Amino acid sequence: MKRFATLALTCALAATPLYAQNVATVNGKAIPKAEVDEFVATLVQQGAKDSPELREEIKQELIGRAVLVQAAEKSGIEKQAAVKQELEMARQSVLVRALMQDYLKKNPVKDADVRAEYEILKKQEAGKQEYKVRHILLEDEAQAKKVLADLKAKKTTFAEAAKQSADPGSAARGGELGWAPSDAYVPAFSKAVETQKKGELSAAPIKSDFGWHIVLVEDQRALQFPSFEEAKPQLEEMMRQSKLEEYQQSLFKAADIK
What one-character DSSP code corresponds to residue 167?
A: -
**What confidence score (pLDDT) does residue 8 get?**
47
Q: 36, 62 in Cβ contact below 8 A? A: yes
Low pLDDT (below 50) residues in the chain: 1-16, 18
**What confidence score (pLDDT) does residue 4 get?**
46
d(CA 182, CA 193): 6
**What confidence score (pLDDT) does residue 130 get?**
92
Radius of gyration, alpha carbons of the chain: 31
What one-character DSSP code corresponds to residue 196?
A: S
**What confidence score (pLDDT) does residue 11 get?**
45
E-strand stretches of 9-128: 22-26, 29-32
Q: Is the Cα dihedral 226, 230, 236, 238 positive or negative? A: negative
d(CA 69, CA 62): 10
**What confidence score (pLDDT) does residue 126 get?**
86
**What confidence score (pLDDT) does residue 20 get?**
61
**What confidence score (pLDDT) does residue 127 get?**
85
